[in-house]
Amino acid sequence: MYLQQLNLMNFKNYEEAHITFSPEINCLVGPNGCGKTNMLDAIYYLCMTRSAFSSVESQNVRHKEKYFMVMGIFEKEGKLSKVHCGYQNSKKSFQLNKKEYEKLSIHIGSFSCVLIAPNDTDLVREGSEERRKFFDSIISQANREYLNDLIRYNQVLKQRNNLLKMYADIPHQLDKDLLQPYDILMLELGKKIYSVRKRFADDLKESFEKFYSYLTDEAEEVSMRYKSEVGETSFEENFFGSLQKDLLLQRTTKGIHKDDYDFRINGYPLKKYGSQGQQKSFVIALKLAQFELIYQLTGIKPVLLLDDIFDKLDDARISKLLQMVTEHQFGQIFITDARPERTKRLMEHIDIEVQYLNVSEITQEGSSTT
């Protein structure tokens, strides 16, 4: 699978752009601020129905404009597919081959991608929600039933929390029969989600450790462990026993929405004891494991997006990564770099088609400003 063509209109700093890509390596070069990362984000948007960097849709619209359009043509298993997204007046439309999706979640997994970006170490530094989102995103690209269960769970969680807020000041008037339908659904969906997460974490573990060892020449021992109360035999009892606490805090305190993933290096928490380089290598190994697992589950290699990767790795790790590229372990790759001479030097020994795109020229042709 690869992205053959990308058309942009009023997306971030692009007034208008029409780009054709190589099915192998595409190097997006140009000075900082010219729109390299924005182009990667447009590709991510076509795959995931949202921006990788902004949760507010209006922030994806070019300054002083009222709408944006992103369109891409993918080649997948010998067939061409046109994905079109438009946003205007706070409304978003998403189409596949001119047919509007009833729900955006239906699109997830149709065209998979893996993004490695400078802010990925937020997975280590931020709270558990960031890690859950990351792993949920991976699983959802390969398992649509999981995504549907997760969406349904979050809807039920929101409804239960609203009920808790309503009765927080008058807990004695709460009729537990009102909570029962939500409780039953949360327990049922929670167990299904837990089962998939656990199996996925077990499957990812071996691949992740393999990539970390490869990138760092076995410099240290790392581990990743899925943490959840849902798998404990006492969970259901604890869930019902936390009602008074839930009312006091006006939110549900037990469930798979409290899960986390424990990252360790040499047996110690990575967040506290890992250097910046170790944290970067840890997350890159996770992303490469994500790529490999999606490929194993779907039989199709995701599009790989590498944002500013050469500035974030030392020469040894860059060499390891490029060796994987040379061995054709990936499919279509997009690489951004502010130093085109460095990119050409690193790519000159790779026996794979490489296309160089000067992004500043593309944005200037469209009279775009950053």
| Distance of alpha carbon 331 from alpha carbon 271, whole angstroms | 32
Q: What pLDDT is attached to residue 23?
A: 96
> pLDDT, tens digit, for every residue of 176-193?
888 999 999 999 999 999
Alpha helices in 227-358 (DSSP H): 235-241, 243-249, 270-273, 276-298, 315-326, 340-347
pLDDT tens string 94-105: 999 999 999 999
Cβ proximity of 52 and 117 under 8 Å: yes
3-class SS at 118?
helix
pLDDT at 365 (0 to 100): 56
3-state secondary structure 52-78: CCCCCHHHHECCCCCEEEEEEEEEECC
Which among 61, 20, 72 is positioned nearest to 38, based on CA atoms?
61
**Predicted local confidence at residue 364, as pLDDT:** 66
User: How many other β-carbons are positioned within 10 Å of the β-carbon of residue 276?
Assistant: 10
Low-confidence ranges of the chain (pLDDT < 50): 367-370
pLDDT at 205: 92
User: Phi, psi (5° rounding) for residue 7?
Assistant: -120, 130
Question: DSSP of 321-364, one letter per residue?
Answer: HHHHHHTT--SSEEEEES-HHHHHHHHTT--S-EEEEEHHHHHH
Q: What is the pTM of this model?
A: 0.90
